[in-house]
Amino acid sequence: MGITRGITLACAWNPRGELPRLIRLMPQIRALYTGLAVSVPQDDLRPELARELESLGVQAMPFVGWSGRHTVIHLALDMPGAHLHYVDLDRLLRWLETRPHELAACVDRIRESDCLIIGRTQAAYETHPRSMIETEQTANLVFSHWFGQPADTCAGSKGFSRAAAEFVLAHSPSDNSLRMDAEWPILLRRADFSLDYVEVDGLDWETADRYLPHAADAEAQKSLAARIDQDADHWLLRVRVARDIVQFGLAAMTAALEASS
């Protein structure tokens, strides 16, 4: 299959009512990307959903456990496109609904480097629960110091050249999707791939959108965030997520980088 100069969209997706929005937004997605690949938990990718995605021209693949990001990057590399844009699907839909022009400008920037780390502006970050802000802050401080500039590595969106995507798949185990956050750009920097960084408003908090026909407003985000922050178990979960991101990133700083086969 020949490779176009376009960009393939690669999304991990845990379905929570987003399908009607995806159907509605497919014309805009097609205008921005060469194609769309999604990875869906094996138990959620039932025949009816698979048929619906196929009718939309979406390439879908099931995954088990934490490997949705690795799975969809593998799938996207089987499609034409010189670059890939990874973004969690729920975040992508919100971004496209609320700030389509910003998304289009960000997609254009993906072509300019091997890895574009897409972070959140302060305004976007402030829409998240404190349990996410406070715990992710540690990871971002650690890796901002290593990169030599402020960088939000935990936002769930990055751009890759085809060569960069192939490299990280060859050097990153598929056991945990959190490896993408810091491990992947660190491995790429160490291997002399070009990196860039941009912050966007469109990656504001997406969880309040679940099972809605459109993106939630700021009041709904604020109300849900406050309720979540009252749950000690959620704080524990976010501590564990941040710990894994830090551990994977620190290990990547000294990992052996054998040549890809």
**Buried-state track 179-209, b at ≥16 Cβ within 10 A, e below 16:** bbbbbbbbbbbebebebebbbbebbbbbbbb
pLDDT at res. 1: 44
Residue 214 falls inside a structural domain: yes
Q: Assess if residue 259 is contained within a domain.
A: no
Range of the domain at 46: 7-252
The answer as to whether 47 is a domain residue is yes
- Cross-strand pairs, 158: 86, 117
Within a domain: residue 205? yes
What residues are paired with 9 via a beta bridge? 36, 85
In a domain, 1, yes or no: no
Sheet holding 59-63, edge to edge: 59-63, 35-41, 7-12, 83-87, 157-161, 115-120, 195-200
Domain contains 72: yes
Its pTM surpasses 0.85: yes
Residue 257 located in a structural domain: no
- The pLDDT of residue 67 is 76
What is the signed CA dihedral for 124, 176, 108, 15, rounded to 10 degrees? -70
Which CATH number covers residue 228?
3.90.550
pLDDT digit of tens for each residue in the chain (261 aa)? Answer: 456 679 999 999 999 999 999 999 999 999 999 999 999 999 999 999 999 999 999 999 999 887 799 999 999 999 999 999 999 999 999 999 999 999 999 999 999 999 999 999 999 999 999 999 999 999 999 999 999 999 999 998 999 999 999 999 999 999 999 999 999 999 999 999 999 999 999 999 999 999 999 999 999 999 999 999 999 999 999 999 999 999 999 999 999 887 544
Number of domains in the chain: 1
Strands 7-12 and 83-87: what pairing? parallel
Query: In this predicted structure, what is the pLDDT of residue 5?
Result: 72
Give a yes or no: residue 85 inside a domain. yes
The pLDDT value recorded for residue 257 is 87
CA dihedral 80, 81, 82, 87 (to 10 degrees): -130
Query: What number of other Cβ atoms are within 10 A of residue 77's Cβ?
Result: 17
Q: How far apart are CA 72 and CA 22, in angstroms?
A: 17
Q: Which residues contact 10 (CB under 8 A, 6 or more apart)?
A: 37, 38, 72, 73, 75, 76, 84, 85, 86, 87
